[in-house]
């Protein structure tokens, strides 16, 4: 299937490993030029080299996307390098585990900043370029817990559901600008994040398959899909 992303420019944040890297790889495999961000310059450059080995044109931008000024800086660097921006895949590492009545105010503020506000800032910074491209696509990676909150992940549940509410509203505002905005919600996948939360369960997804689902939401065929939440969890979510 031709995704219609060849020659497009995509920015994928938190993309040095895991689902972010898988998303960047899927877009690059279909011919997109890719800019990737992460906090560790060393790990990020290894990821960039991995993508380049398949023939992709890649821009690596080390930095912490949760800092308020970073989204505008990163978007500016992408446009300076490639002259445009067509696709934004907003991703961020998940907050640490915590029980609902044990988490502190500071922890909640950090979680909301990283898993909600960072995406809002990225969308604001990218929007003029996405609107001008004629192929504006925004895909925010969140979690299946927006549909079925997970015990012991109070910080993630709080911030990610807030992002869902914002994104549903923002998608309506973007319709008239011909820019789509969707959430994609992974369940357990074979990533370092899952290892950090106690191990990868037997029923876990392939990050490569997840990346291709992201690429579809960023494709020309997904032009009429916006404001939706795609759960990629192998059927783990039981809510209707």
The pLDDT tens digits for 116-147 are 999 999 999 999 999 999 999 999 999 998 99
Question: Comparing 31-40, 141-150, 220-229, which segment has the lowest mean pLDDT?
Answer: 141-150
Q: What CATH number matches the domain at 9-232, 3.40.140.10, 2.30.30.100, 3.40.50.720, 1.10.10.10?
A: 3.40.50.720
Q: What average pLDDT does the chain have? A: 93
> For residue 2, what pLDDT is reported?
86
- Mean pLDDT computed over 213-220: 98
Selection from 5, 7, 24, 14 nearest residue 207 by Cα: 24
């Amino acid at each position: 299937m031709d995704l219609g992303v060849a020659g497009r420019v995509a920015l994928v944040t938190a993309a040095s490993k895991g689902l972010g890297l898988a998303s960047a790889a899927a877009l690059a495999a279909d011919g997109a030029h890719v800019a990737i961000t992460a906090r560790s310059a060393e790990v990020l450059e290894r990821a960039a080299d991995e993508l380049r080995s398949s023939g992709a044109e890649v821009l690596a931008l080390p930095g912490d996307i949760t800092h308020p000024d970073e989204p505008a800086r990163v978007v500016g660097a992408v446009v300076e390098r490639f002259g445009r921006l067509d696709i934004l895949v907003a991703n961020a590492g998940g907050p640490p585990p915590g029980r609902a009545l044990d988490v502190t105010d500071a922890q909640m503020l950090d979680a909301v900043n990283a898993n909600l506000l960072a995406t809002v800032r990225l969308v604001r910074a990218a929007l003029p370029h996405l609107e001008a491209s004629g192929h504006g696509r925004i895909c925010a990676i969140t979690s299946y817990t927006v549909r079925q909150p997970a015990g012991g992940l109070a910080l993630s549940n709080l911030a990610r559901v807030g992002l869902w509410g914002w994104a549903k509203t923002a998608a309506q505002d973007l319709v008239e600008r011909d820019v789509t905005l969707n959430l994609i919600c992974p369940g357990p996948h074979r990533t370092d994040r899952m290892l950090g939360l106690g191990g990868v369960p037997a029923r876990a997804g392939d990050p490569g398959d997840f990346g291709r689902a992201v690429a579809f939401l960023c494709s020309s065929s997904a032009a009429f899909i916006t404001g939706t939440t795609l759960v990629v969890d192998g059927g783990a979510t039981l809510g209707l």
